[in-house]
């Protein structure tokens, strides 16, 4: 193990182009840690308020309602958090896998390669977690300016405290699991990894869990499940979060089908290149747009929340305003995660496919054609995935769709989130144009 760690340290000090990849991964882990601690801090604040004065005159006994709403918001943010964490851990997978596969072919043992891969992933995750924790402490006074239940937060209310003991290790754990999953492929087929052999196509069976979850949610929302109120609430919250998980599972399959269809019907070179690249690596294409698709899903689900609050009693006058505020905060956090995920993924894809860009340019492909192919490789799956997320969200909120008429601000929040998210993805793709040019024109 000591020899493997020495070799890892020697390679880490001579990363060269890998330094940008490492920096992007650390940035993503920092964003994950900040969002995780901020969300847990808010949840703890509502739990403490409910315990202290939940039945007091000032809150009119609505403390438990705020806790439930905070749990729902945390469940909606949890999936984008883990998605970004996994994307950060996989950011340098292709480059790291190629290096690890070369070491395996040169005679390194599986244990030595495993040690190096784990050390690489944990070093990035720990650095990002520490940076994110520091950012959380710096932004805490700003978060405390938010008003809920008719009063602002105190900074000590939002301090995550002992919960950080379980929250902070979760970030390196995600990196560790992702590194070990990638290592399994290197250990089994190091030659295939070194030659960048493709993966088998994804199966349509990924759709089945989505249909099951939507069905359970509709049954629960329409009162067709004869269970207690607590169990019913747990089912509703669980299916909301579970639908996001399953949509993240269905997304790559949907993108793979789309890529094959685009490639078959292509009439121009950029469209053909975009379709082939989408079909060859649908998971990477999904990661480029998946963050915004999840934001569209969260915005669609939360669009009915202001209308539901408007039906409350006059004594709960703060509840409607607070739900609108909480909806906006949840969307902001989800959008920030999507922004980091988009930028990191787009830059990482350029780095991983630099050799392809160079080969295509040497074969006679103009750089502007590569740029056009990248833009189509982004906006085609973006439109389809955002549309799929919107349809899924509408199916889940269909029992409460009348609430949209009571408070149209929910529709405004939804449309604004979708438009801003799509613009963000396209801007992230355009921002990496210089990286494509450097890769294509490299000697």
Are the C-beta atoms of residues 382 and 289 closer than 8 Å to each other? yes
Express each pLDDT in 13-66 by its tens digit: 555 555 677 777 888 889 889 988 998 898 888 888 888 765 454 445 567 778
pTM of the model: 0.74
Q: Is the dihedral of CA 109, 111, 114, 115 positive or negative?
A: negative
Please report the pLDDT score of residue 138 as a whole number.
Answer: 92
Residues 145, 152: Cα–Cα separation, whole Å:
6
148 phi, psi to nearest 5 deg: -135, 145
Residues 317, 245: Cα–Cα separation, whole Å:
34
Share above pLDDT 90 across residues of the chain, in percent, rounded to a whole number? 5
DSSP type of residue 14? T
Express each pLDDT in 392-437 by its tens digit: 777 777 777 776 777 777 788 788 888 888 887 788 788 778 888 8
Q: What ranges do the domains of the chain cover?
A: 1-197, 198-443
Q: Angle at CA 75, nearest 5°, toward 69 and 77? A: 105
Please report the pLDDT score of residue 67 as a whole number.
Answer: 83
Residues 273, 263: Cα–Cα separation, whole Å:
8
Please report the pLDDT score of residue 57 as a whole number.
Answer: 46
Residues 262, 279: Cα–Cα separation, whole Å:
9
Residue 271: partners with Cβ closer than 8 Å, 6 or more residues away: 262, 373, 376
Are the C-beta atoms of residues 128 and 27 closer than 8 Å to each other? yes
Q: Are strands 147-148 and 151-152 parallel, antiparallel or unpaired?
A: antiparallel
User: Which of the residue ranges 26-30, 226-230, 352-356, 402-406 would you say has the lowest mean pLDDT?
Assistant: 226-230
CA of residue 67 relative to chain centroid, distance: 24
Please report the pLDDT score of residue 322 as a whole number.
Answer: 79
Burial class (CB in 10 A: 0-12, 13-18, 19+), 240: buried
- Per the model's pLDDT, the better-predicted residue between 233 and 287 turns out to be 287
Q: Is the pLDDT of residue 349 over 70?
A: yes
């Amino acid at each position: 193990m000591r020899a493997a760690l020495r070799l890892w340290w020697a390679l880490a000090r001579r990363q060269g182009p890998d330094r940008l990849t490492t920096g992007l991964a650390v940035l993503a882990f920092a964003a994950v840690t900040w969002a995780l601690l901020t969300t847990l801090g808010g949840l703890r604040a509502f739990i403490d308020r409910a315990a202290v004065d939940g039945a007091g005159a000032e809150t009119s006994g609505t403390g438990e309602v705020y806790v439930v709403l905070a749990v729902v918001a945390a469940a909606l943010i949890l999936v984008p958090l883990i998605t970004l964490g996994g994307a950060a851990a996989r950011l340098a997978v292709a480059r790291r896998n190629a290096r690890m596969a070369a070491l395996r072919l040169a005679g390194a043992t599986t244990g030595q390669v495993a040690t190096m891969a784990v050390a690489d992933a944990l070093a990035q995750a720990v650095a990002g977690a520490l940076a994110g924790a520091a950012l959380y402490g710096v932004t805490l006074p700003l978060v405390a300016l938010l008003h809920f239940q008719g009063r602002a937060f105190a900074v000590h209310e939002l301090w995550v405290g002992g919960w950080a003991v379980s929250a902070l290790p979760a970030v390196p754990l995600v990196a560790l699991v992702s590194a070990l999953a990638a290592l399994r492929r290197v250990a089994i087929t190091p030659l295939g990894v070194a030659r960048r052999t493709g993966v088998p196509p994804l199966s349509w069976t990924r759709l089945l869990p989505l249909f099951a979850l939507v069905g359970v949610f509709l049954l629960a929302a329409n009162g067709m499940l004869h269970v207690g109120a607590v169990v019913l609430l747990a089912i509703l919250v669980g299916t909301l979060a579970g639908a996001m998980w399953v949509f993240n599972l269905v997304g790559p399959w949907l993108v793979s089908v789309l890529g094959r269809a685009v490639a078959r019907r292509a009439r121009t070179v950029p469209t053909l290149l975009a379709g082939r690249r989408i079909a060859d690596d649908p998971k990477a294409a999904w990661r480029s747009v998946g963050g915004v698709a999840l934001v569209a899903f969260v915005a669609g689900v939360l669009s009915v929340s202001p209308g539901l609050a408007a039906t409350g009693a006059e004594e709960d006058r703060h509840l409607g305003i607070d739900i609108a505020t909480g909806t906006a905060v949840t969307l902001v956090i989800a959008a920030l995660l999507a922004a980091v995920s988009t930028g990191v993924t787009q830059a990482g894809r350029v780095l991983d496919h630099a050799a392809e860009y160079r080969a295509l340019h040497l074969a006679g492909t103009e750089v502007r054609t590569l740029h056009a192919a990248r833009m189509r490789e982004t906006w085609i799956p973006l439109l389809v995935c955002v549309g799929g997320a919107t349809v899924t969200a509408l199916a889940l909120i269909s029992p409460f769709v009348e609430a949209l008429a009571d408070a149209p601000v929910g529709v405004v929040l939804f449309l604004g989130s979708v438009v801003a998210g799509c613009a963000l993805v396209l801007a992230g793709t355009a921002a990496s144009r210089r990286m494509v040019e450097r890769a294509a024109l490299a000697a």
